[in-house]
Amino acid sequence: MSTLQVLSSDPDPVRDFCVADLDYPQLNEYPCKPYANVTIDDFVFSGLLTPADPSLGPSGTSVTPAFVETFPGLHTQGFAFARLDFVEGGLIPPHTHPRASEFVYITRGRLYAGFIDTANRAFARVYSKGEVMIFPRGLIHWQLNVGEGPASAFAVLNSEKPGFQTIAPSMFGSGVAEEVLQKAFRLDEQAVCSHR
């Protein structure tokens, strides 16, 4: 008896690289920049060297992305980067990346971070400079600076377009009926109205 085996993955590239031509964006995609116009600068990004001011963010954090829109050489390579900077007590609130897993390397401070799996089990702890954590694709996760002073980390996401959806604003700021929010979060009408 023969066995049928099906394998699925991203296709192998048919060229060495495809630097995004940011002058001609298309729906969720960029064409390749003409080969003659590609330079070494397309493959180098210095934007992660300097921290942004996390005190300017709404929850004491700043995220500096290195996505294809700022780093065209990433196009078709299957990953993106970000620098995460936190003031003391700063929080990157619970969110998901529907198209990517996230690998976070702590370079300064201490973060309480974790994720919740589809069985509603939390996997969380404090981790410090030099440690890494992986957040599986699509699962709710967060990072909170619990150290004394600022914290910093670098994230690698295994998608050029990982997506980002923050849980609370996506529910309370999107026009979902109040009755749904009251029942889903076990809140009274006053609590739901105060979150809008």
Q: Tokens representing 130?
A: 């030099």
User: CA-CA distance, 44 to 178, in Å (whole number)?
Assistant: 47
- Asked whether residue 12 carries a pLDDT value surpassing 70, the answer given is no
Range(s) within the chain of domains with CATH label 2.60.120.10: 35-163
- Asked whether residue 45 carries a pLDDT value surpassing 90, the answer given is yes
Reported as a single tens digit per residue, the pLDDT across 146-182 is 999 999 999 999 998 899 998 888 888 788 888 888 8
How many CA atoms, within 13 angstroms, populate the side-chain half-sphere of residue 49?
4
Q: From the annotation, which residues make up the binding site?
A: 95, 97, 102, 141
- Measured at the CA of 17, the angle between CA 163 and CA 29, to 5 degrees, comes to 35
Q: From the annotation, which residues make up the binding site for oxalate?
A: 97, 102
pTM, two decimals, is: 0.84
User: CA-CA distance, 196 to 130, in Å (whole number)?
Assistant: 39
178 or 38, which is more confident: 38
Query: For residues 52, 53, 54 and 56, what is the CA-based torsion angle, rounded to 10 degrees?
Result: -120
Q: What are phi and psi of 61, to 5 degrees?
A: -140, 160
Which strand ranges, in their side-by-side order, compose the sheet holding 140-145?
122-128, 110-116, 140-145, 91-96, 165-166
**CATH number of the structural domain 35-163:** 2.60.120.10
Reported as a single tens digit per residue, the pLDDT across 66-88 is 999 999 999 989 889 999 999 99
Q: From the annotation, which residues make up the binding site for Mn(2+)?
A: 95, 97, 102, 141
